[in-house]
Amino acid sequence: MSQPLHWLGKYFFYAIGNTPATSLTRDLSPQTPANILLLGCGDPRNVLFSVFNEDKKSDRRLDITCSDIDPAIIGVFLARLSSLSHLAFIIPDIAARNVLLLTMIIDNDTSLSTMWKIFFDMKIDRDSYSRLIGHCKKLWEYSGSQKAWLDSPYGATVKFSTLHTLEQARQRWKFYIEMENLPTKRQNFIREAFTKLVKDASRRFNSINSNISSARAAGPLLYEASPVYGQHALHYISTGVSSTESTVLASATLINPTFAYSFAGEGCNVHYGTSPLTPFHTSALFANATQPLRMSDVLQAAQKQFGEWCDAYRSRAVHPSKIVLRFLVGEATAVCGAFQSLNATQSVHTRIPVSQWRTSVLMFDEAQYSAPSNACAPTTFNVVDTTNLIDHVGLLNILVAALPLRTATGVIYTESLLYKGKREDAAKEFGARLFADLGTMALLLGVAPVDYLSGFCSRSNTNEILLNKTASGAQFHQVTTWKAPTSSDVSVNIRPAVVFDNVQLGTLLWNIYRRIFEDENAMTVLTKYVPTGNVRAIANSKKIMYNRESFVLFLKITRGNLVLSAEDWEAVMKTFFRLQDEGSMLPTDTAHWQDFYSYLYKHNVYTLPIYREPLRRTGRFSEWPSVPHLVRVVLIVPRSVLEDVFNDPDVATPVLQCDVRGMLSTHVFSSVHAAFGRVSSTGTKSSPRISFEEDKEGWKGRSPLVVSFTMPTRLLVNFEPQRNLLVNLSISGTVSTIAQFAQKLGISLNVYGAKLSGGIHVEVLPEPISHASGFPAPALSTEPLPHRIGSCGPVTVSLDGKHEIVNLFSCRMSVENPIIVHSFGSQGAIPNVKQISPCVVRLTVSGIFQDFVFPYPVRGSDHRLRLVRKSLYIELLVPPSGPFQSEGMRTRPFPVTLPDSSSRHPDIQAWNIHHVNLSRLPVLDCSRPKELSKWFHPHVALMMSARERELRDKNEPDTLMFVKERLQQIMAQASGFSGGKAHRLFSLMDRAARNVDTLLFISDLRFDQSAYTVVCDAFVLPLTDELMTKQSGPFARLINGEGLAHIRLREGEVASWKHLIPAFVERCRISWMHTENCEYKAQGSIPLTEKIDHSPLCSCGQGKDVEGMLKNPLWRPFAPSATRIALSPLFAVTYLDPIM
């Protein structure tokens, strides 16, 4: 496994989501079909909220694959991803809960209040219990086979990607049905477990301010909402019931069985911070409240949203062509590996285990995944959402696993809730999660954070900074959107080939390797963090997320994204190993090198010379027909040994590893798979095989633990006699594990060991190797650009002196056009260079131009040219444009992408401003400006970072800061909180020319609750000469009757608004489409112009969705010429540009 193996320890069941719902289609245009993969999907809040945000008339198809390790979640989603401390998978309990809820919604024969109780309450009344059991019995009957399920009333819209998933969900439904009839002893155990939850939670949360993380659902109203959220969290965890009504509390006497079963088995493993209010947005509720809110008010608002989401899903589910939900039980990286295997081999059979602690392998349903292409279930996705798995799996692991499944212009979402170091550094910590400069990693991985590239984000997390300073917990919610940098560029329909200097790349990879593994050693951790007093980082050093196989898979995707010959890659790896040999190894490297070498070979990333040498047939291998370079070693660990070590309830989740120890050396292997069960030898000495019978009771059963790992055979035949070798299971030595286990296990932390030869506890098997998969191909085409002047070579990347940060891009173009050969080679023509978009620089010679495409935004004005006339080539050298630097993304700061012939962009869409459905956003009540100013003023003020506020105060120019200042003015005056009369009609005026060419009509201010901010529901009217001539009378009446607030734009700001307005239009486009005659498509650029007195917009949206203008008689004449727009704050990127 490409993640370390963690002991089971304490498992928490997240039956209810721990973050508010968000739209999964927020970066897709409304006509783009959505193929979505949810990794660690948890409860169905994001699915239901996404459906709710769809236009009611939309025919857009949503095909959503929901994967999680807990069958109960899937079974109650069709309930919330649980992660086994560091394990992240869709659990059968999640599956069972989710399907249960969704099918109840489809049936429409259960009241909303009953559905709420069944899904959200840990204790329920008899009628709700009976309804739950009755529905589970129906699901049980329908789920006898894949065919039976397909033929059921739900089979067209709710599907199971594997038979294993269906069987696991069905098993959970049976558990729910039978729980009431369990023996008294087991029922008492369940009741005691829930009682213990109440006691533990009461001890943790001894006041209403102790558990307020759910208050993030109130966004910018977090301070106002925190007391009631804290009060309700205490109420819920102590009663198991969300309602505060005495009659409901009195009747809720039965434990809800959907909370009693999870990956950890029977009992109560519900997380102590669980709250049924968390998924639902309440910023509008608190902002518009005219009196203090009670718990019942917040609950009622949540239940209302729940009902609206259910209604939206039900309406869509009656049309299978509009939505399909597929459920898949599996650990996140295993699911990604299985899809990669399916794409590479076209076989639904994979050899990938569902998860750690399980031996079932992922095998896709043939009817769905081997169907004709137009009916086949998706195996690549334009949206991959990973929830907060990076907290448990690691950001690099998640990206490496998910990237091969992303379509060319697809998006990956990552979230984090936890941070490693000091609380005051929580907002900055994200940048270190990839172990290298984000810009450099963008070239290796092919994607980058959109907010990092843009220098802003349309989603606020200022409330997280406030929560982090207020709450006693240790959370900071960071949501990141990842896209290919070139996908922002209207001019680009290719991904350029990229190469590095071999020595620089080898050094960069070595530096990344060292950062990933430097905290493996306890002394290194103490030396690093003790001087700074970072106690939290020392404690968190036990959370090991990477092993050597993780790094090998990163190398594999890196090589696949770069254009490297076999000789180049050989040179890169030789540099890597030279640095190792020169003495810069980590303390743990000596023991781990053989582990590393073996996975380089297994994944066909690099083959060391020793793996080309034949191996001796000796000892256990003497009768094998041939000796492979890798074997799988199986160690059977007696249960009694485990009980001596791990029965302590404070044992937590230490990392387990295996080692092979002789008299001369010890070699550690960290990619370990484990499951409880019994092994039987079924082969012969010449062809060893085993069969495995899994103990479904796991740690609660009676079987031994069977662990296995891959290792180089040469260590067993070439170094020392096999009789000297011991195979051990041990605990990885961190600061905390040494303190906890060294006295009992010794400094080696050895749990159990057995001799390689002569015993019954070790088996050695051949390890199959497949080199067929090769390297993942880049997501975007690498086809060459049209050669108007000549062919271009790859883009060469040059790093700085430390081999860390990109200094320069260079690209060489051969001069081949006969006209240019003459003018450049013989007449000395001088090329002209101009940057035309973030990643494109245009070179013109003698009136003929050709574009250079770079893989990352660049600063074209800082270019250099190497003109070699004799050899007829031109080399262009440009530096990258990083955050807050000139040009780059600032040439097109708010990109709107065009479709192209390859359907890379199926539709026109905004690139770095998320999509909203304005009709679904609640209206902000602006009738009480004094109350409004308490939270709205700081909210819009904090869109600027501390750096930008300093620039503003010093009157220094910065275009993005200027735009933010204007947005702040518009929102302050439109809401009225700034004092005086509220304005709803604005002009954009060029300050220097005193020229107005754009009007903004603000109809309403609305809450974009999932983005924790406010948007202006508005209409934009470009004042063209034709319009002013035609509407001179109505225009005069408008100005005289309404009054006009001028927004004065500074130098250079007009062009920024010409870019911003099309993006704000596209983000709220719902009911209309761009026509074949669209001016954007005809001109091939967005905006149409940057010039004043000219419209940047196409005409497709004019007069569409303008009902808000018709209500005002003075606005009405302009409605046919206006276009709906959604203005909102643009927030600082807190890990780049702190706001405080």
Domains and CATH numbers, the chain: 11-453+463-487 (no CATH), 498-613 (no CATH), 615-766 (no CATH), 795-891 (2.60.40.790), 918-1127 (no CATH)
Residue 394 to residue 494: CA distance in whole angstroms:
30
Amino acid at 125: D
Asked if residue 355 lies in contact with residue 334, where contact means CB atoms within 8 angstroms, the answer is: yes
Q: Report CA 912 to chain centroid distance, whole Å.
A: 16
Residue 826: CB atoms within 10 A of its CB come to: 9
Q: Check residue 773 and give its pLDDT.
A: 47
Asked if residue 1020 lies in contact with residue 1061, where contact means CB atoms within 8 angstroms, the answer is: yes
The residue to which tokens 């254009």 are assigned: 563
For 184-193, 974-983, 1047-1056, 1126-1135, which range has the lowest pLDDT when averaged over its residues?
Answer: 974-983
Question: What is the pLDDT averaged over residues 715-736?
Answer: 91
Residues 6+ apart with CB under 8 A from 206: none
Residues 6+ apart with CB under 8 A from 700: 265
Q: Check residue 938 and give its pLDDT.
A: 93
* CA distances (Å), origin 741, targets 546, 652, 654: 22, 12, 10
Residue 770 has pLDDT above 90, yes or no: no
Summarize pLDDT for 569-626 with one digit per residue, the tens. Answer: 999 999 999 998 887 778 888 899 999 999 999 999 999 999 999 998 988 999 999 9
Of 431 and 303, more confident: 303
Residue 199 has pLDDT above 90, yes or no: no
Residue 268 to residue 262: CA distance in whole angstroms:
8
Tallying the residues shown for the chain, one arrives at: 1140
Residue 323 to residue 329: CA distance in whole angstroms:
20
* CA distances (Å), origin 886, targets 557, 811, 960: 31, 21, 11
Q: How confident is the model at residue 184 (pLDDT cuts 50, 70, 90)?
A: very high
Q: Which residues of 1067-1098 are buried (b: 16+ CB within 10 A; e: fewer)?
A: bbbbebebeeebbbbeeebbbbeeebbebbbb
Question: What is the pLDDT averaged over residues 18-47?
Answer: 95
Residue 903 has pLDDT above 60, yes or no: no
Three-class SS of residue 102?
A: helix
For 58-72, 100-114, 766-780, which range has the lowest pLDDT when averaged over its residues?
Answer: 766-780
Question: What is the pLDDT averaged over residues 769-784?
Answer: 52
Q: Check residue 541 and give its pLDDT.
A: 72
Q: How confident is the model at residue 91 (pLDDT cuts 50, 70, 90)?
A: low
What is the CB-side half-sphere exposure of residue 650 using CA atoms within 13 A? 5
Residue 83 has pLDDT above 50, yes or no: no
What is the CB-side half-sphere exposure of residue 977 using CA atoms within 13 A? 22
Asked if residue 702 lies in contact with residue 639, where contact means CB atoms within 8 angstroms, the answer is: yes
Asked if residue 684 lies in contact with residue 690, where contact means CB atoms within 8 angstroms, the answer is: no
Summarize pLDDT for 844-882 with one digit per residue, the tens. Answer: 999 999 999 999 999 999 999 999 999 999 999 999 998
Residue 374 has pLDDT above 90, yes or no: no
Question: What is the pLDDT averaged over residues 62-86?
Answer: 57
Residue 332 has pLDDT above 60, yes or no: yes
- C-alpha closest to that of 327 among 51, 110, 25, 44: 44
What DSSP designation does 5 have?
Answer: E
Q: Check residue 84 and give its pLDDT.
A: 32
Residue 1076 has pLDDT above 60, yes or no: yes
Q: How confident is the model at residue 922 (pLDDT cuts 50, 70, 90)?
A: very high
What DSSP designation does 364 have?
Answer: B
Asked if residue 484 lies in contact with residue 447, where contact means CB atoms within 8 angstroms, the answer is: yes
What DSSP designation does 830 have?
Answer: P
Q: Check residue 1067 and give its pLDDT.
A: 98
Summarize pLDDT for 268-304 with one digit per residue, the tens. Answer: 988 888 999 999 999 999 999 999 999 999 999 999 9
Question: Tokens in use for 73?
Answer: 């979640």
* CA distances (Å), origin 507, targets 29, 164, 581: 41, 44, 13
Three-class SS of residue 233?
A: helix
Question: What is the pLDDT averaged over residues 907-917?
Answer: 96
Question: What is the pLDDT averaged over residues 5-30?
Answer: 91
Residues 6+ apart with CB under 8 A from 533: none
Sequential DSSP letters for 62-97: EEEEEEEEEHHHHHHH-----EETTEEBEEHHHHHH
For 178-192, 306-320, 902-916, 1103-1117, which range has the lowest pLDDT when averaged over its residues?
Answer: 902-916
Q: Check residue 471 and give its pLDDT.
A: 61
Summarize pLDDT for 539-579 with one digit per residue, the tens. Answer: 777 788 999 999 999 999 999 999 899 999 999 999 999 99
Pairing of the two strands 406-418 and 381-385: parallel
Q: Report CA 1093 to chain centroid distance, whole Å.
A: 42
Burial category of 286 from C-beta neighbours within 10 Å (exposed 0-12, middle 13-18, buried 19 and up): buried
Question: What is the pLDDT averaged over residues 832-842?
Answer: 95
Residue 1052 has pLDDT above 50, yes or no: yes
Q: Helix, strand, coil proportions of the chain in percent (round to 5)?
A: 40, 20, 40
Question: What is the pLDDT averaged over residues 319-325?
Answer: 93
* CA distances (Å), origin 992, targets 116, 1048, 1059: 59, 9, 20
Q: How confident is the model at residue 905 (pLDDT cuts 50, 70, 90)?
A: low
Residue 776 has pLDDT above 70, yes or no: no
Q: Check residue 207 and give its pLDDT.
A: 60
Question: What is the pLDDT averaged over residues 450-479?
Answer: 84
Question: What is the pLDDT averaged over residues 898-904?
Answer: 65
Residue 89 has pLDDT above 80, yes or no: no
- C-alpha closest to that of 36 among 412, 446, 479: 412
Of 399 and 902, more confident: 399
Q: How confident is the model at residue 803 (pLDDT cuts 50, 70, 90)?
A: very high
> Can you say whether the dihedral through the CA atoms of 1059, 1061, 1062, 1064 is positive or negative?
positive
Q: What is the average pLDDT value for the chain, to the nearest integer?
A: 90
Q: How confident is the model at residue 213 (pLDDT cuts 50, 70, 90)?
A: confident
The residue to which tokens 């050709």 are assigned: 850
Residue 283 to residue 923: CA distance in whole angstroms:
11
Q: Check residue 263 and give its pLDDT.
A: 77
Of 1061 and 265, more confident: 1061
Q: Check residue 735 and give its pLDDT.
A: 86
Summarize pLDDT for 923-962 with one digit per residue, the tens. Answer: 999 999 999 999 999 999 999 999 999 999 999 999 999 9
Question: Tokens in use for 715?
Answer: 């260590």
Q: How confident is the model at residue 782 (pLDDT cuts 50, 70, 90)?
A: very low
Residue 138 to residue 146: CA distance in whole angstroms:
15
Of 1053 and 75, more confident: 1053
Question: What is the pLDDT averaged over residues 225-246?
Answer: 94
For the whole model, what pTM was predicted?
A: 0.94
Residue 1138 to residue 164: CA distance in whole angstroms:
47
What is the CB-side half-sphere exposure of residue 453 using CA atoms within 13 A? 34
Q: Check residue 206 and give its pLDDT.
A: 66
Residue 663 has pLDDT above 60, yes or no: yes
